A and B are shown apart, each in its own frame.
Chain A
């Protein structure tokens, strides 16, 4: 059973993530209106938001410690928040600033926070094998930390996921594969890319435990994840845990979603896991004021992170050449000014 403190913390993470995404959306669209130009505005590049996925991250990460590893896909913010990634530095990264998690080199699809063992990848399912690797390290070192790989239901047809399942299964590795089923892989509804409605069934072919939570209820996800993480931590091997979430926005900001029926958009808005969570809180004796206070605190934290991040300096262009390797190699990277100097016959 979920305790009051855990329930409160999960809710706080969920409303933090939701508000964070709403604010990122506003910031992202600044300067991109009325004509959407992906190169304009304060936030560079693409932006994939996870609004509607919050219950999954909150329910799963409630069982994790800082030394447990999490890998997230290209829609990572809710997972990062629940895993305890530094919100201010993550925000600075998304704004491409010098004090960001990756000094502005990674961006929103490539967030790394080694303090809490968090990483993500911009390529579908490719964060899954590294999670298996973290679990392998835990087993080899005989520690009790676990790894969790988040991926979308559109990613479960990738070889990287299926191969990882087999490897984790045959070595009984402490890893949980969390499949976030939001019904859409960019423009493709689930039924057009697989005949299997329950994606966790992929596990059967590898004799790996599986579970699906059919409703985006953070408490139900918390309970299922507790078993999966516990199984991993106790040395009993991997689990595929599929959880139903919903996609409240387009695949990326600027996606007009012309392919998506209006009823589906409406349905995604209606089945709101945050309202459901408020119902749980009330059942546990939290008052409306308590809930409002949690929400306000979360909103304030988000505003502070965004304000801080926007205040941070842009990176020095010279920084582009650093960090390719851990040590400095002579004449690496090859640089344009060096080439021009050579063509001139000049000295460096």
Chain B
């Protein structure tokens, strides 16, 4: 779709939280296209446990903001079926951790039907889901699982880190003719009961705009070390980078914004400049995003690479008690230590 160049987040005084920006995009698309609807647990009266659908029921009613039984296999699969009929469902899986309940519908139907049909059908649906820890909710409610969804072919995977990106990525996700998994971090949503860090609340233009998939955003420029990350950890990496600047280490921070498609070129360009790569991922260490990014850097810029490191969730389930979760969850200090380790 041809896009008019849109003003960025700095061009407006109107600041929104990430959840408000997502909802604004959904509402706009629903007004323009009657085929767009939302389906999920507690999305109507409750407005989504993480405010991802807050306020939509009042405008669109129960027919288009559908609460459903606790039957993820059924309603995610129904989303696939409606999408194959040409509708544009936005289906919420309340926590990414619950994917197992319905994974067959997600990765065998939603993701593969286009391919298995030889392209004769498409599945234009958005699967929206909450990810992330930082609030001590333990092993079944705190995972990010970016790597799991990105590993399985056929789904586009987007991970916004700011309100501006959240709106533009949501517009693009709903308009996309492929299934899109839209993974939002709870800590970024602007919930009253889970304060967000500085950063995700940004200027958001009232008009609609798309953030194209596959275009990473260089959130901070620097010549010494490249940090590649996404979601909540964009903000933690920026914090680390700001602290290190006092010591003369200039860190470039790249926000991937989408995992599928992945903007390898922006990463390689940066690595060619800095020679040092740190990947920060709240997902598990092994067989995931961090390994993938380092592999791509190695394939594409081996001669320029001097050092690599990754800051990830160790390969343990996420523990409950605060000292334990703090130990495993990467923070700005962990990121700063990794940047120092490759940059010195």
Contacts and interface: CB of A to CB of B under 8 A. Distances in A.
Interface of A: 35-39, 44-46, 96-97, 100, 102, 104-107, 109-110, 121-126, 154-155, 157-160, 185-188, 192-194, 254, 258-259, 314-321, 324, 332-336, 339-340, 343-344
Contacts, number: 177
Interface stretch (B205-213, B241-249, B310-318): B310-318
B67 interface: yes
B244 to A, nearest CB: 15
B140 A123 contact: yes
B70 A336 contact: no
Nearest to A346: B341
Given A96-B322, A336-B330, A340-B309, A324 B317 contact: yes
B324 A320 contact: yes
B138 A122 contact: yes
Contact of B140 (A35, A110, A160, A334): A110
Contact of B136 (A35, A45, A154, A185): A45
A52 to B, nearest CB: 20
A332 B285 CA distance: 11
Given A106-B320, A324-B317, A334 B309 contact: no
Interface string B114-150: 0000000000000000000011111111000000000
Given A187-B67, A317-B323, A320-B319, A36 B192 contact: yes
Interface of B: 41-42, 44-46, 49, 67-71, 73-74, 97-98, 100-101, 134-141, 192-195, 285-286, 307-312, 314-317, 319-328, 330, 334, 337-338, 341-342
Given A159-B101, A188-B45, A193-B67, 14 more contacts: A37-B193, A44-B320, A106-B139, A107-B138, A107-B320, A123-B97, A123-B98, A123-B101, A125-B70, A159-B74, A188-B67, A193-B69, A315-B324, A334-B312
B6 to A, nearest CB: 35
B324 A340 contact: no
13 contacts: A46-B141, A96-B320, A105-B138, A107-B138, A107-B321, A110-B320, A124-B101, A157-B71, A186-B42, A318-B327, A336-B314, A343-B307, A343-B338
Contacts of B307: 343
Contacts of B46: 186-187, 258-259
B101 A336 contact: no
A37 B195 CA distance: 7
A97 B307 CA distance: 39
A212 to B, nearest CB: 19
Tell me whether chain B's interface is mostly helix, strand or loop, or mixed.
Answer: loop
Nearest to A318: B327
A321 B314 contact: yes
Contact of B135 (A45, A122, A125, A193): A45
The 10 closest A-B pairs by CB, nearest first: A96-B321, A104-B321, A44-B136, A107-B320, A317-B327, A259-B45, A333-B315, A187-B46, A334-B285, A343-B309
B68 to A, nearest CB: 7
A109 B316 contact: no
Contact of B138 (A45, A157, A334): A45
Nearest to B314: A333
Contacts of B71: 157-159
A143 B341 CA distance: 59
A334 B314 contact: yes
A45 B325 CA distance: 11
Contact of B316 (A46, A104, A192, A321): A321
B327 A44 contact: no
A130 to B, nearest CB: 14
A68 B68 CA distance: 35
A45 to B, nearest CB: 4
Contacts of A320: 314, 316, 319, 324-325, 327-328
Given A35-B192, A157-B71, A319-B324, A332 B138 contact: no
A314 B323 contact: yes
Contacts of B41: 185-186, 188
Given A37-B194, A38-B194, A334-B286, A109 B319 contact: no
B208 to A, nearest CB: 29
A332 B338 CA distance: 20
Nearest to A194: B69
A44 B35 CA distance: 42
Contact of B323 (A107, A159, A316): A316
A35 B194 CA distance: 10
Contacts of A258: 45-46
Most B CB atoms within 10 A — which of A121, A122, A194? A122
